[in-house]
Structure 1
């Protein structure tokens, strides 16, 4: 899972805990999703440098939201090109990828949608905290539909099916590393203690039901969509294998996205 998405999920998990007074913990720069960040601010206007600042850090934003009547936070996703899943998948591992992920701030009668903008603000940082992160209010409008338990179970089943197919493909082509990666993701779907290899603190686990963690952690492990050296970078010797690879990869990507949304928002 890319760091930007993991950070959004962390903000939602920790933010909901604070808003609902449920085992809440402070989300600070010790969190793995903020490992390379030197600053996180929240503004009403993306182009604004000093004006329109809502909060100078994450906790201050949570307080602002609570005072404003926010009921909960959700993860919102909108593909830029619904007709080209392959393009979405290939771009998904990059900061300026084609997908749009936002934090949905839910109020009684509407939702605000906050997007993230990341810029290198300290390239020579010795602690590698090179990123300045700004969340900005992108739009306001109707609240998105909330997933149900049925949709969570459906997302789990679809992810399981996609993983079975891609494990079989990986085994057939002797892609041992990838077969093991996908198998680990699949094991999370039935584990009583699902785990993720990185961003171990991106959610407050005790606030999330086992089924949600199974689905989310499986999707996190199955996120293999990046640049050079990742699953996206494979190429086969004949068109038949390449076509099958692309079909299975696109199917997995769609399943992973659905699983992440359902796992976070249920």
Structure 2
């Protein structure tokens, strides 16, 4: 799964869980959660211009950001995922394989709703612990909190349908290893004890089973990387190439919807 998106998913899931209880200190996810395993620093800042004065804030670490939004009156974090063509002109599933290629953010509600964006940059490629990324989180104000309409059942159905279609395509083109990959994702939609691949701690233990199933299946279905990934395939037959692009785009859309739905309905 895209690491930049995984970090925001964890922030929404654990952040909403903490905001609903908030008896304990805010979770320092950048120090403890596997979605941040390659992050060396996380710095957030915001600037607001009022009628009579200018407010600004800066903080280091996810816990500091969570505490800041809570003190500002936020009670809910919402994962936002954009759609449509990327500014580069590349399809979304291709653009997402590059750093800062995704179109996702977090919205905070409260008296002054804001949308928060992240910019990832390499700090030290030679870091012995592979924590090479420095993240800068900035925001802008919103007239109202953005709460996308989500339906867990529809997201599950759409993801299942997209996975079945792409699995059939993989079987028809003798891509057996990929067909098995998609079959595993389908299995995670129905398992009674779902374990999220790569980031088993991506969701807190309080997340409902249905949400964990959807998130686990979506993470397993994330095949949108660079060289050697599903994105790297090319078919000489025009009909096969057209079918490949169709099932890929459908899966990418279904995966993004599933991730947002799982993140936004868990608490």
TM-score in terms of structure 2 length: 0.88
1:3–1:33 contact (8 Å) kept in structure 2 = yes
Cα deviation digits, residues 158-207 of structure 1 (max 9, x gap): 11111111111111112122111111111111111122220111221x22
Match of 2:91, SS? helix
Following the alignment from structure 1 to structure 2, what is the Cα–Cα distance between the partners of residues 201 and 31?
7
- The structure-2 alpha-carbon separation of the partners of 1:188 and 1:110, relative to structure 1 and needing over 3 Å to count, comes to farther
Match of 2:169, SS? helix
1:22 shift after superposition: 6.8
- Aligned match of 1:33: 35
- Aligned match of 2:124: 122
- The structure-2 alpha-carbon separation of the partners of 1:124 and 1:264, relative to structure 1 and needing over 3 Å to count, comes to same
TM-score in terms of structure 1 length: 0.88
Deviates most, 230-239 or 123-132: 123-132
Match of 1:207, SS? coil
Q: What number of residue pairs does the alignment pair up? A: 256
- Aligned match of 1:48: none
2:12–2:264 contact (8 Å) kept in structure 1 = no
1:17–1:23 contact (8 Å) kept in structure 2 = no
| RMSD of equivalent CA atoms | 2.3
Q: How does 1:205-220 map to 2 (within 5 A)?
A: 206-220=205-219
Match of 2:32, SS? coil
- Aligned match of 2:240: 241
Unaligned 5+ residue runs, structure 2?
48-54
Match of 1:257, SS? helix
Match of 1:20, SS? helix
2:203–2:212 contact (8 Å) kept in structure 1 = no
2:28–2:61 contact (8 Å) kept in structure 1 = no
Unaligned 5+ residue runs, structure 1?
46-50
Following the alignment from structure 1 to structure 2, what is the Cα–Cα distance between the partners of residues 5 and 230?
18
- Aligned match of 1:190: 190
- Aligned match of 2:50: none
